[in-house]
């Protein structure tokens, strides 16, 4: 399955991935409309310290702990992609506690949000990958 991988060697810490993510999941048709005067809450986040930076988003683990921890069955694996059913999520945040990557965060509505590889939004393919200026984030099949 194709997954998002990051290569910190090429990450510039420009944070564009966060903005492209926030825009792709905003449902708006222009980035200005979506993000002007907004504090973004993206599903991918740059971790940086001492000159090293890299983007972190859901790894779509083969044996995910988050789905096992979900008390309502809101998190499910569909064709390898871990997806969230926001109608089922009760906001207990157990998944946030269990995710070893810190890739799940609360959404602005109370339910959790996480990277779903942009399959359910207007982008259709990972917007962070398309927007990365230095190929530090790639979407590919690996062993």
- Residue placing its CB nearer to another protein in the complex, 35 or 56: 35
Least spacing, CB of residue 90 vs another protein, in Å: 33
How many angstroms separate the most distant Cα atoms in the chain? Answer: 42
- Residue placing its CB nearer to another protein in the complex, 32 or 100: 32
Site for another protein, rule CB under 8 A: 9-10, 12-16, 19-20, 23, 31-32, 35-36, 38, 51, 131, 133-136
- Residue placing its CB nearer to another protein in the complex, 5 or 93: 5
Q: Which residues, including other chains, have CB under 8 Å from residue 111's CB and lie 6 or more apart?
A: 74, 84, 86, 89, 91
Residue 82 CA to residue 26 CA, distance in Å, equals: 20
Least spacing, CB of residue 49 vs another protein, in Å: 13
Least spacing, CB of residue 19 vs another protein, in Å: 5
- Residue placing its CB nearer to another protein in the complex, 51 or 100: 51
- Residue placing its CB nearer to another protein in the complex, 72 or 134: 134
Least spacing, CB of residue 21 vs another protein, in Å: 11
Token pair 């906001």 is at which residue? 91
Least spacing, CB of residue 137 vs another protein, in Å: 12
């Amino acid at each position: 399955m194709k997954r998002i991988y990051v290569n910190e060697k090429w990450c510039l810490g420009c944070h564009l991935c966060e903005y492209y993510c926030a825009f792709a999941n905003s449902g708006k048709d222009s980035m200005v409309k979506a993000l002007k005067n907004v504090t973004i809450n993206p599903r991918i986040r740059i971790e940086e310290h001492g000159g090293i930076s890299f983007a972190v988003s859901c790894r779509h683990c083969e044996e995910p702990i988050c789905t096992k921890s979900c008390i309502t069955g809101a998190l499910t694996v569909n064709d390898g992609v871990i997806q969230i059913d926001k109608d089922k999520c009760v906001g207990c945040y157990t998944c946030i506690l269990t995710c070893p990557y810190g890739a799940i965060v609360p959404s602005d509505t109370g339910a959790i949000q996480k990277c779903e590889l942009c399959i359910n939004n207007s982008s259709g393919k990972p917007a962070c990958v398309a927007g990365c200026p230095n190929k530090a984030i790639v979407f590919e099949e690996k062993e």
